[in-house]
Amino acid sequence: MIEEQVILVDSQGRALGVKEKMQAHREGALHLAFSVLLYRDGSTGREYLLQQRATDKYHSGGLWTNTCCSHPRQGETLEQAGIRRLAEEMGITGVAALQDIAHFVYRAELDNQLVEHELDHVLVAAVLELEIHPNPDEVMAYRWWPEAELEQAVAQQPTQFTAWLPQVLAHAVQHIG
């Protein structure tokens, strides 16, 4: 099994080196990440594809989050990493391009004595039809959430969602036309 590493960055996104993924999360080291959010526009308005993380994920198990998220590997662009993780987590292979619409830095104390301290890029794509075949080791459920319903749920029941989702959603709502 390949040791997963994350790219350490400063607050401006300049790469500082790499660190083993779990060690970075135990130490709360600032590292590069991305959050993919797929959306579609239908007769009732905009909807976002969210996943519920598998309960045995290394953190935030059972919580609802954006379509997929992870960390780019060295030599991999954010878009390449996002497309890779769409396939690995959600079994989605039909997305050809992702748009990097925003980024933000956040720090959150999580379960299992882990800390997320990430420079997180928000990657989005509009989709029409998708085949979705989630990896059960990664995802326990998924659904399309209408924008207004999702914003209300995040505001009223924040503990059902990952620490980073509110900011990902806010950037998507603000930046998508």
pLDDT in tens, 26-44: 999 999 999 999 999 988 8
Instruction: Mark the binding-site residues for Mn(2+), compressed into ranges.
Output: 25, 31, 71, 116, 118
Residue in the block written with tokens 């998924």 = 142
CB 123 within 8 A of CB 37: yes
> Which candidate in 69, 79, 138, 147 is catalytic?
69
The pTM assigned to this predicted structure is: 0.94
Quick check: is 69 catalytic? yes
For domain 5-175, the CATH class is alpha beta
For residues 117 and 131, what is the distance between their CA atoms, to the nearest angstrom? Answer: 32
- Domain parsing of the chain, residue ranges: 5-175
**Hey, which bits of 60-130 come out as E strands?**
64-65, 68-70, 99-109, 115-126
Residue of 47, 68, 79, 118 marked active site: 118
- Looking at residue 2, its pLDDT comes to 63
The residues, any chain, with a CB within 8 Å of residue 49's CB and separated by 6 or more, are 37, 38, 39, 40, 67, 127, 130, 132, 142, 143, 144, 145
- CA diameter of the chain: 47
Tens of pLDDT, residue by residue over 115-159, are 999 999 999 999 998 999 999 999 999 999 999 999 999 999 999
Q: What is the mean pLDDT of the chain?
A: 94
Residue carrying the six token digits 């990657």 = 123
Q: How far apart are CA 140 and CA 151, in angstroms?
A: 22
Residues tagged in the binding site annotation: 25, 31, 71, 89, 116, 118
Annotated binding site for Mg(2+): 89
Task: Please state, in angstroms and rounded to a whole number, the distance separating the CA atoms of residues 86 and 82.
Answer: 6
